[in-house]
Structure 1
Amino acid sequence: MRNLLLSSILCCSFATLSSVHAQKTEVPKYIKNVEGVKEYSLNNGLKVLLIPDASQSNMVVNIVYNVGSRNEGYGEKGMAHLLEHMLFKSTKNLGDIKKMLSDKGGSANGTTWFDRTNYYEVFPSTDDNLKWSIEMEADRMINATILQTDLDKEFSVVRNEFEIGENNPDGVLQERVLSTAYLWHNYGNSTIGSKEDIERVKANTLRVFYQKYYQPDNSTLIIAGKFDEKKALQYVGQYFGTIPKPKRVLDKTYTIEPAQDGEKFVELNRAGDSKNIGALYHTAAYVDKDYAAIDALGEILTADPSGYLYKSLVETQKVSSIYYWQPTTRDASFMYFGVAVPNDKDVKATKDLVRAELDKIASTKYTDEDVSRAKSKIIKQIENVKNNTISFAINLTEIIGAGDYRLGFLYRDAVENLTKEDIQRVAERYFKSNNRTVGVFIPSKDEQRVKPTEYTDEQLLAFTKDYKGKALEKETAPFEASIKNLKQNFAEGKLTNGAKYGLIKKEIKGGKVQASFKFPVSNEKDLAGKTDTGSILAQLLKTGTKTKTKEQISDRLDQLKSSLYFNYSGQTLVINVNTYKESFKEVMEILGDLLVNSTFPQNELTKTINEYNTYLESSLNDPQSIAFIEVSKQTENYPKESIFYTSTVQEQIDAYKKIKQSEIVDFYNNILGGNNGLGTVVGDLDAKTTEQILENTFGKWNSKSKYELAQPTFFETKKLDKDFITPDKENAVAIGKISFKMNLKNPDYPAFVMANEILGSGGFLTARIPMRLREKEGISYGAGSFIDIPVTNDAAYWLYYAFLNPTKKNAVEVAAKEEIAKALKDGFTAEELKSNLVSWINERKTRLGNDVTLMALTNTYLQYGIPLDDYDALETKVKALKVEEVNAALKKYLSLEKMTSVYAGDFNKK
């Protein structure tokens, strides 16, 4: 299942606040507990959901408003999304939201969709963070300033975001298919909105929309993770309880889409490098019992390798890939099939082939095995989300938008109870050609048309009001997010072949177990010219062994609610495992089988290369791809055979076409091996049992090629400004790179980290570069900087980036270079260092509450011997920094005279 959210995503971090309103506190009323989701309410209509999880060291506060593009009227297209941006500006009581978010650290986001808008913050679990976030969300619910001056600057930011989406052929086609499929309902409109409406709306008009929908009776507040429940309810009552229930009554949306009366077709002709086909069927609302069956049918049709459409279209190489998508919606939804077509195929002829296969959906006889396979996959996905409390709380956004948080449990129950008769019924009801948008109108008689089922709010309530859910799960044990606690719960060992491993003893919700393994292999000489072979091999490792077919492997992993991910880059194979305590042994046995018995069928190799190249073809003239590739090519001078060489998109396509099965097998037999490997497992596992499982999996898996760590070469950058023209592309990219010599042990490293934070990387869009380009001038949707400082060599670099409208190229270039020059000339202030230090420390603490970070730290220790205590040691060094040291480090390593700048876009646009 592919979930394409055409929404605004703001990658954020956050703020500290001390102001407290001295107001009478209302005690939220307890309603019920559904499978660990504790529901409360306030008199003003606010719904509150508490989802405690002591095993987390972070918490999330997520507020969901039941307003999205579905609620927009004439001249209001994109207003919900634009308002989402504006609520990150300021409030009457608290002031600058982005500044506060920046100071607080952590991560935050705001998104808009068909039926809802949400804002959330993830941060370390403290009472101050809890109190601040609740107060902030309450304040911006009713006190956002929505100034015309802010709106004037935000127009171009949103327009730039719109333009970025316009560069995606598949996404643009999907929008056009949607708008053609829907005659009246707003699901046919892009959430990001009409460029014209966005540019013309005034602050006063936007404020009316805000005051109507951003109210407690139209919202749900979710607090999840590790937090004090009593204090959370106190703060909710204190800050939200004082907001009066609005006197206005929200009108019900009553537009329903009429039954489609014939197949429709839309043809999109515009610049691009890939061929795509889209097909849409009107389906059912999330509350409808048919929704789960339609979802399962989507899996049955498109899953790799068992899907009926996958076998008939991808397996036969008529298309390179196919996916389906059915959004979680309040009203009758839709299923969209996206098909990628290789450039050497006739897209119109392929369209007819695809339609012919789609026509078979209703008449196909589905089996119990089909249903079992789909159920296993979907339930695995549901369990994975449910057992990651932070993700679960954020994921509830979509379900609340669809009507009620309990619908998610009802959906799960419906999936668990599916039968082949359910699949057959929905296939026959919904998947008719006259309910499809891809073709042309064909008149015919006696059509049995598909009419959507409408659900009133009262009917929806009837589905959920008495739902109690399954038995509550046992609460997980707390796990403090600190290096001290990590060390206390970390055990390490070595396998017989020399591979190192670590076990972090940690109870995760649902008995979940995660693992990350890295296997460095071979040497530069033996790997010369083989990087692409290794990359494709990693994608083929689940396509069959001597004892199991691809389908059997996929089915069993789904039944175990487990996943295996492989990736090869440079000289390292990375394996990530996501499973559960009771399944860990079997999943590792499956992994062991893949590592020593894989067969790499020729048809799978052909399909994989086909799929990869079709994707790459879509990037041939993509400004972002070109910019990042070209900045590497302009600053490095590796031979083509080197594992460090950066290929162009066309070179990558050509290289993949040349890969032979014999080369894959040779790499597998002679290069891969685990004797220099390392990895970390996180979960509530027995150390001795875990060691034996790892020994059985990796202990005898050895490489025949001698391992030597390959080191990149330092290439000094030079002053260069180079344009790359990408005709008829709506968006452009600017990148500047400066290389220098530094590694993690360099005494200047702590100071340079903070210099980068202040200049381009830190805070919630409050570092100097994003503040100038986005916030002050509104000429870039996204801008910032990052550093790459290696562990074992000195080939380091600093890089800034900006996404922009091509017509703003000169303005962005001037502004970015002026900010860098100003920092180099005048330096940073002590106040800047102080505020960025707070947000940097908080952001690191937030990351430490993530299991992925814990595994990365222990794996770095296992691979390079870097003590875990260095994480805290860096913080100690940074805290002791003086602003003069930060300024000195910046001037020592950065120089505009050494910056290579690359610009990619259609700069001929006027």
Structure 2
Amino acid sequence: MPPLRDDPGTRSGEVQPGKPPKVQPTPIAAAQPAGLPAGVTFVTQAEGIKEYRLSNGLRVLLFPDPSAGNFTLNVTYLVGSVHENYGETGMAHLLEHLVFKGTPTSGNIMEALGQRGATFNGTTNLDRTNYFETLTNTGDNLAWAIRMEADRMVNSRISGDDLKTEMTVVRNEFEAGENNLIGLTLKELQSVAFDWHNYGNSTIGNRSDVENVPVDRLQAFYRTYYQPDNAVVTLAGNFDEAEALGLLAREFGPIPAPSRTLPPQYTREPAQNGERSVTVRRVGDLQALMAAYHVPSVRHADTPALLVLNELLGNEPSGRLYANLVQTGQASATGTLPLQGGEPGLLLGLAVLDKDDDMDRAQATLLSTLEQAGDKAFSEEEVSRAKQRLATQHAQLMTQPGQVGIALSEAIAAGDWRLLLERRDAVARVTAADVQRVARTYLKPSNRTLARFIPTAQPDRVEIAQAPSAQEVLRDFVGGKALSAGEQLDVAPAALEQRVIREDIGGVKVAMLPKETRGDRVQLQLALDYGNPETVREAGAAPDFLGDMLTRGSTGLTRQQLHDRLEAINTNLSVSGSGEGLSVSLDTERQHLPEALELLRSVLRGSTFPESEFAELKTLTLTALEADRSEPESVAGRELDRIFMPEGTRHGDLFYSPTLDEQLEDVRAVTVQDVRDYYTQVVGAGHAQLSVVGDFDPQTIRAAVPQLLGGWTSGVKYERIVRPLTRPAGVSRSINVPDKANAVYVAAQNFALRDDHPDAAALEVAMRVFGAGTDSRLWNRVRQQDGLSYGVGAQTSLSSRDEQGTLSAYAIYNPGVREKLSAALQEEFRRVAQSGFTETEVNNAKASLLAETRAAYSKDAVLAAVLLNQADLDRTFAFQQQWEQRLAAVTPEQAKAAFVKYINPDDLVVIQAGSFEK
């Protein structure tokens, strides 16, 4: 049988720990022994092995064989490397060494065992640690062995002095493992195959953890896991059952049951998302290839068939790997190994090559042999032969009680000792069809991790030096001159209006707010309006490239040179554009403002539209659009836009929203000349607004604006495009997007309302209570109460020019809770009409909205954006002051009335996109 390891969780198709597997034990009533020691309870038996339980939780297995000359006492603790936390790797194995150092009573256990002529050892693996000793059943050997094991269960010294000496021994074992090239490669493979689960950690641990582990953490680990309720004592071989049970009860029974609760092991490794690989290069004289595939726990129903598959692939000489690699001269040795445990593990295929062999050829053969196994049927004869080999191995094991006792450790760690017997019986039932099925299921490229060991004469490793302490680094640090401090700005609307300078400079609407800023920073924003319905309709996708292309090369400057110049003067510049206008943001320092404005003029008026840059940008745009095809957010958003198109709109019309394929074709059709033509014929500064906030001299702006924008006129008349208010009602659609763990809900509704209407403030308060914050009703219901979404909310946006308002709502969620999420959102929408808002909710919302607005005005970039918008709308901060007054006056009744007047749950357009079809 393969290694069996413990799994604290239970999944579909597995035997649950604590429940009998499919073996036929002797009925308990008939087998209940008489005269058991106090505190000992008979549990069950199977095939000559009896299980007892002590009152402190210790489990005892007795497997007597009077014909044996010796007995083997084996203690299995359900703790291995899987139980180690961060910084504790190798702790279970290190502890295995330290408990041999002895107790105050037993002295040095290794010496005592040697004096009695015992064969003994301790081993640690992923799920368990075990200690065994085999002695002759003479004298007091049995009594001494039981007493010693009970003693070291809870009384081992685990001292700092012992740790110092044994740590170097373990480190030497670690170093010996580093010399084992196959083992080293396997360690690297495991670490790549597992992202999260501790099966990806080597049992021996990380060198620095082993060298630096504090003894108090080691002691805490010992006290947690070395307890009777976490151990199974197995006694096999030559002994008297009654005597042995009495000794076990006498020595282990007084150990109190611990008060602690064992920490649960709840990490589950997610499915692998594609092929993985790792390469190891060390000095060596061979090459090695390993391919590992994730497989279920030992307890899973597929494991028996996987064990047979392991034999069919890895056996020598009948296995397929041997036939395809060794017998063809591509490798010198092959094999397979099931690295399974109580948790899902790996099935490994291995090929060892001479250092001059063709590794690529062998790799192709290894992978094709493994991954095509499900397509090349195994005969019933092959399967029967493999099953017979496994049955023979098990039968031979059962004739050696001492080895059975040790083998039971693996089954114990997997959940129940009887799994050793049940898995044998399950293997006997495996058919060729079962083997074929599991091969197809698990031996797939997407489930594979490949490791290659490549020998090299001079390994080129990069050793990362330990960094000095912060104190050492800062020993001679002085620091530079502190940045200039900014002023504390009064952000009340009336106070701000007194500071603003509004001017018309050569036809450009300019708003300036000079102020002291930290580091003498200046924020400048510029908006150019151009075009008309006709130019936008005829231009296609060309204007979408304007903003990016303007910064990709200008007269005398390449894209890189422009970036270098901007970085040299500590300036950030961004330009975005469309068929209707350009938006510019400039962030610089007072001393560099003139040079920054010169560079901005070069960008806006001297762009060369390099063809190579356009080709690169076009490819990037197409790639990004293609990526949208499989993103639920993009799919849902595009569908929502298309539903809100004016009725009868066709591709090429002004307000048409294209499908993804149509947009891709539009982008593919654009040439760099199309972009140049739109720029030269349509773009201009005839309708421009400029705002500046920060540490600057207004005279600098007055002088720069004519140079920046003067004389730049468009070849076409500007006409603002007014979008029609479309009001589709009651649409609900679900779109399946394959292979996405997260789904998205988006909803929208249009209504007629402008931001200066008296209802606007009341509706904003209503939406703040309903969905626009982490204290909103949607947040509290959907995220906090029901736990259905990480992000959920709703908001309204109102036009400042036209009577056009939009409600938008969103949520992300697991596709499995779609119905619950939809119902919760609908309930919250309808609850407003039923019960309105409380006074506390409304007062909190008003306070939050005012505080958020004032906080935003303290940021210069936001303030510059507000001034730019005011310049465009011919507004001042008087409008903001009026809004604050209206906000303060909103009552719960007004908030409810505004919500009910403009928001109708029955008229929502709802789009949900995600992996709804499994």
Taking structure 1 as the reference length, the TM-score comes to 0.52
Q: Find 1:479's aligned residue among 475, 486, 489.
A: 489
Q: Find 1:452's aligned residue among 449, 464, 471.
A: 464
1:528 to partner: Cα distance? 0.8
Q: Could you tell me which residue of structure 2 aligns to residue 3 of structure 1?
A: none
Q: Could you tell me which residue of structure 2 aligns to residue 310 of structure 1?
A: none
1:579 to partner: Cα distance? 1.2
* Distance across 1 between alignment mates of 2:199 and 2:757: 52
Q: Find 2:876's aligned residue among 867, 870, 878.
A: 867
Q: Could you tell me which residue of structure 1 aligns to residue 826 of structure 2?
A: 817
8 Å Cα contact 1:259/1:452 also seen in 2:
no
Q: Find 1:618's aligned residue among 623, 627, 631.
A: 627
1:680 to partner: Cα distance? 0.5
| Deviation string, structure 1 residues 820-850 (Cα, Å, up to 9, x no partner) | 0111222112221112222222111211111
Distance 1:574 1:610, change over 3 A: same
1:699 to partner: Cα distance? 1.6
SS of alignment partner, residue 877 of structure 2: coil
1:552 aligns with 2:564: no
Worse overlay, 557-566 or 724-733: 557-566
Q: Could you tell me which residue of structure 2 aligns to residue 907 of structure 1?
A: 916
Letter in 1 for 2:643: Q
1:529 to partner: Cα distance? 4.2
Q: Could you tell me which residue of structure 2 aligns to residue 491 of structure 1?
A: 501
8 Å Cα contact 2:747/2:808 also seen in 1:
yes
Q: Could you tell me which residue of structure 2 aligns to residue 838 of structure 1?
A: 847
Letter in 2 for 1:490: V
Distance 1:472 1:743, change over 3 A: same
SS of alignment partner, residue 762 of structure 2: helix
8 Å Cα contact 2:524/2:585 also seen in 1:
yes
Letter in 2 for 1:566: V
Q: Find 1:667's aligned residue among 669, 678, 699.
A: 678
Q: Could you tell me which residue of structure 2 aligns to residue 628 of structure 1?
A: 637
SS of alignment partner, residue 575 of structure 2: strand
8 Å Cα contact 1:758/1:833 also seen in 2:
yes
State the superposition RMSD in angstroms: 3.5
Letter in 2 for 1:849: S
Alignment of 1:667-816 (within 5 A): 667-762=678-773, 765-816=774-825
* Distance across 1 between alignment mates of 2:832 and 2:667: 44
| Deviation string, structure 1 residues 788-844 (Cα, Å, up to 9, x no partner) | 210111221101110001111111101000110111222112221112222222111
Distance 1:839 1:76, change over 3 A: farther
* Distance across 2 between alignment mates of 1:509 and 1:515: 16
* Distance across 2 between alignment mates of 1:583 and 1:595: 18
Letter in 2 for 1:592: R
8 Å Cα contact 2:749/2:903 also seen in 1:
yes
8 Å Cα contact 1:534/1:667 also seen in 2:
yes
1:521 to partner: Cα distance? 0.7
Alignment of 1:584-623 (within 5 A): 584-623=593-632
* Distance across 2 between alignment mates of 1:833 and 1:75: 51
Q: Could you tell me which residue of structure 2 aligns to residue 513 of structure 1?
A: 522
1:858 aligns with 2:870: no
Distance 1:682 1:632, change over 3 A: same
SS of alignment partner, residue 583 of structure 2: strand
8 Å Cα contact 1:564/1:576 also seen in 2:
yes
8 Å Cα contact 2:748/2:807 also seen in 1:
yes
Alignment of 1:194-205 (within 5 A): none
8 Å Cα contact 1:77/1:194 also seen in 2:
no
Letter in 2 for 1:455: A
1:187 to partner: Cα distance? 13
Alignment of 1:137-148 (within 5 A): none
Q: Could you tell me which residue of structure 2 aligns to residue 295 of structure 1?
A: none
* Distance across 2 between alignment mates of 1:790 and 1:593: 34
8 Å Cα contact 1:857/1:868 also seen in 2:
no
Alignment of 1:139-178 (within 5 A): none
Distance 1:189 1:876, change over 3 A: farther
Worse overlay, 466-475 or 674-683: 466-475
Q: Could you tell me which residue of structure 1 aligns to residue 427 of structure 2?
A: none
Letter in 2 for 1:603: S
* Distance across 2 between alignment mates of 1:187 and 1:483: 59
* Distance across 2 between alignment mates of 1:726 and 1:547: 48
Distance 1:907 1:505, change over 3 A: same
1:545 to partner: Cα distance? 2.2
Looking at both structures, which has the greater relative contact order when contacts are Cα pairs under 8 Å and sequence separation is at least 6?
Answer: 1
* Distance across 2 between alignment mates of 1:182 and 1:499: 68
1:441 to partner: Cα distance? 5.4
1:576 aligns with 2:585: yes
Letter in 2 for 1:486: L
1:735 to partner: Cα distance? 1.2
Letter in 1 for 2:755: L
SS of alignment partner, residue 531 of structure 2: coil
| Deviation string, structure 1 residues 155-201 (Cα, Å, up to 9, x no partner) | xxxxxxxxxxxxxxxxxxxxxxxxx99969999998xx77999xxxx
1:647 to partner: Cα distance? 3.2
8 Å Cα contact 2:82/2:198 also seen in 1:
no
SS of alignment partner, residue 803 of structure 1: strand
| Deviation string, structure 1 residues 412-466 (Cα, Å, up to 9, x no partner) | xxxxxxxxxxxxxxxxxxxxxxxxx99965432212321111236xx33311254
Letter in 2 for 1:494: D
8 Å Cα contact 1:785/1:801 also seen in 2:
yes
8 Å Cα contact 1:565/1:576 also seen in 2:
yes
Q: Find 2:907's aligned residue among 876, 880, 898.
A: 898
Q: Could you tell me which residue of structure 2 aligns to residue 468 of structure 1?
A: 478
Letter in 2 for 1:627: A
* Distance across 2 between alignment mates of 1:786 and 1:264: 60
Distance 1:492 1:266, change over 3 A: farther
Distance 1:266 1:516, change over 3 A: farther
1:631 to partner: Cα distance? 1.3
* Distance across 2 between alignment mates of 1:542 and 1:645: 29
1:587 to partner: Cα distance? 1.4
* Distance across 1 between alignment mates of 2:479 and 2:450: 40
| Deviation string, structure 1 residues 192-242 (Cα, Å, up to 9, x no partner) | x77999xxxxxxxxxxxxxx9xxxxxxxxxxxxxxxxxxxxxxxxxxxxxx
| Deviation string, structure 1 residues 475-496 (Cα, Å, up to 9, x no partner) | 3333222223322221122232
**Structure ID, larger Rg:** 2
Residue-pair matches, total: 504
Distance 1:495 1:825, change over 3 A: same
Distance 1:184 1:491, change over 3 A: farther
Distance 1:897 1:556, change over 3 A: same
SS of alignment partner, residue 895 of structure 2: helix
Letter in 2 for 1:671: V
Distance 1:733 1:266, change over 3 A: farther
Q: Could you tell me which residue of structure 1 aligns to residue 148 of structure 2?
A: none
SS of alignment partner, residue 566 of structure 1: strand
* Distance across 2 between alignment mates of 1:557 and 1:465: 34
Distance 1:896 1:557, change over 3 A: same
SS of alignment partner, residue 640 of structure 1: coil
8 Å Cα contact 1:264/1:438 also seen in 2:
no
Q: Could you tell me which residue of structure 1 aligns to residue 374 of structure 2?
A: none
* Distance across 2 between alignment mates of 1:574 and 1:690: 18
Q: Could you tell me which residue of structure 1 aligns to residue 573 of structure 2?
A: 564
Alignment of 1:224-373 (within 5 A): 261=281
Distance 1:868 1:805, change over 3 A: same
Distance 1:587 1:74, change over 3 A: farther
SS of alignment partner, residue 582 of structure 1: helix
Distance 1:491 1:715, change over 3 A: same
* Distance across 1 between alignment mates of 2:198 and 2:292: 19
1:690 to partner: Cα distance? 1.3
8 Å Cα contact 2:745/2:911 also seen in 1:
yes
1:549 to partner: Cα distance? 2.1
8 Å Cα contact 1:571/1:643 also seen in 2:
no
* Distance across 1 between alignment mates of 2:657 and 2:870: 29
Letter in 1 for 2:847: V
